[in-house]
Structure 1
Amino acid sequence: MADASAVPGAGSSALPLQVVRLKHPGRWIAAGVVVVLLVALVSSLVTNERFRWDVVFGYLFSGSILLGLRNTLLLTVAAMVVGVLLGVLLAVARESRNPVLSGVAGAYVGFFRGTPLLVQLIFWFNLSALYPVISLGLPFGPSLALGSANVLITPWVAAILGLGLNEAAYMAEIVRAGLQSVDAGQTQAAQALGMTGRQVFSRIVLPQALRVIIPPTGNQTISMLKTTSLVSVIALPELLFAAQIIYARTYEVIPLLITASLWYLALTTVLSIGQGFLERRLGRGDASRRRGVA
């Protein structure tokens, strides 16, 4: 056996290593620049009287603004319900082995994602120019007239159709990505155990797909809340249109736009918190499984 004294430094006490932190002057310079800019921004917000904060907070809870806020929330919910339900059907159709279903669903997604939403809203609002009377029936056969398009296609209907049908194209891709994220081997194993197709979908595929579907769906809901401001072009009294009506009378454009922006910011913050809660709840199974493996 080798003598310990022959090993260099074995007989003497090891000197403690001195750790020298690397200096990052660029970080401090960048932080200083950011702080200076923030101070300048806050100072401008406080000292610039043209912001008219008294007007901003004076209209924040006015009746017309709150009515527009309610309409914005209703429109967001209605459009997302249409988008999610139709998006699920489109996702299933795109995954179908039937070329007709798959082709039609693909064409739908391509069309609604490839044309501007604002154009779609204006199109639905002016549908009566193409179809003065709306009817349902078989091609070249008897049809049931529902009524005048000018009466049926109200601003609310046009807004829900425009927003909902457009959202369905994006939700179809989100749902399809979630379904494809589940390994096909799990479905085959469940079927080998004697589970029915409905059981496989509800107990195996759907819980895992939701972990992929929920985060982008939450983002789409937040985006939809802000996108509803586009329906102001068809005179639907949502939040932005309510602010426009007021500043068209008072000429206080900037304060009313800030009032509307504060409500949008508050609502998106609440939705973001809810989205985070759902993601954590759906991810508990994965976290427990990872701890078990570790």
Structure 2
Amino acid sequence: MFLSDLLDQMPLIMTGLVETLKLTVTMSITGLIFGIVVFYLTLSHRAWVRRLIQGTSPFHRNASDRSVIPDVLRLTAMGISLSPFMVAVIGFTLNVAAYNAAYMTTAYNGLDYVEIEAGRAQGFNHTQVFGFIVLPQVLRLSVPALTNQVIRNLKDSSVAFLIQYTEFFARVQELAATNFQFFQAYLFAAIVYLLFVSILVLAARYVEKRVIIPGFSRQDS
């Protein structure tokens, strides 16, 4: 019975899987971009900017530490009229960017400040030092943590069903509701997530070996 229902709903499930991958890729990219912006602002010469970023970043990180639901539901509660996909992207981006900025800050603390001072001595301004010296090294040192965050993004995407975004997990729940075989449905979902996580882990380790800076120990998230 379960297999028959699974095959009948496979087109919808595959559509949901595509939506999950779309959300994961989108929030991973936007989370990285805004994470770089947040990291840059933490290095600002203006004290009030640093205090503002340091005060708000833990708020977005702790949103997922206190519960499984990150910023996505907070936006919905504010009555913002957006599509479920956009609400999910914005909410997750705030959350992921805060984590990515923290990873990059940790990597920055391990840099050799002699290089930074040498850049300033050559006449580089703050932005040039950041773009040419700091950011390339920080990104390379943060690869293990950043790629682990992408894996976490895939798993966290299942929360989006709470705002009526019909991703993979939402489709699996619909399948389970048709025959009440929840164990089989969730086991199927777990196998699919495990498959994609395994692919991401292999890809992450490959990227890590290609770009890691020799002489630095592995940075874990």
Between Structure 1 and Structure 2, which shows a larger proportion of helix residues? Answer: 2
- Where does residue 127 of structure 1 map in the other structure? 78
Partner SS for 1:224: helix
CA contact (8 A) 2:73 2:163 kept: yes
Task: Give the drift of 1:221.
Answer: 0.4
Pick aligned residue for 2:214 from 252, 263, 286: 286
1:85 is the counterpart of 2:33 = yes
- Where does residue 182 of structure 1 map in the other structure? 111
Change in Cα spacing, 1:125 to 1:82, as seen in structure 2 (3 Å) is same
Question: Residues of 2 paired with 1:83 and 1:229: CA distance?
Answer: 17
Question: Residues of 2 paired with 1:91 and 1:56: CA distance?
Answer: 50
Question: Residues of 1 paired with 2:49 and 2:140: CA distance?
Answer: 27
- Where does residue 210 of structure 1 map in the other structure? 139
CA contact (8 A) 1:71 1:239 kept: yes
Question: Residues of 2 paired with 1:246 and 1:89: CA distance?
Answer: 41
Q: Relative contact order: is structure 1 or structure 2 higher (C-alpha 8 Å, sep ≥ 6)?
A: 2
Q: Aligned letter for 1:209?
A: V
Change in Cα spacing, 1:57 to 1:282, as seen in structure 2 (3 Å) is farther
Q: Which sits farther off after the overlay, 67-76 or 103-112?
A: 103-112
Question: Residues of 2 paired with 1:235 and 1:181: CA distance?
Answer: 42
Matches within 5 A, 1:131-280: 149-150=80-81, 153-192=82-121, 194=122, 196-197=124-125, 200-280=129-209
- Where does residue 66 of structure 1 map in the other structure? 14
Instruction: Give 1 or 2 for the bigger CA radius of gyration.
Output: 1
Question: Residues of 2 paired with 1:55 and 1:67: CA distance?
Answer: 18
- After TM superposition, the score normalised by the length of structure 1 is 0.65
Question: Residues of 2 paired with 1:107 and 1:270: CA distance?
Answer: 36
Question: Residues of 2 paired with 1:259 and 1:59: CA distance?
Answer: 12
Partner SS for 2:69: helix
Aligned residues: 212
Deviations 1:95-126 (A, max 9, x none): 21212211111121121123345163222123
- After TM superposition, the score normalised by the length of structure 2 is 0.85
Structure 1: state its 5+ residue gaps: 1-51, 129-148, 290-294
Q: What is the RMSD computed on CA atoms of the aligned residues?
A: 2.6
Task: Give the drift of 1:268.
Answer: 0.8
Structure 2: state its 5+ residue gaps: 217-221
CA contact (8 A) 1:92 1:176 kept: no
Question: Residues of 2 paired with 1:175 and 1:56: CA distance?
Answer: 48
Change in Cα spacing, 1:99 to 1:195, as seen in structure 2 (3 Å) is closer
Task: Give the drift of 1:76.
Answer: 0.6
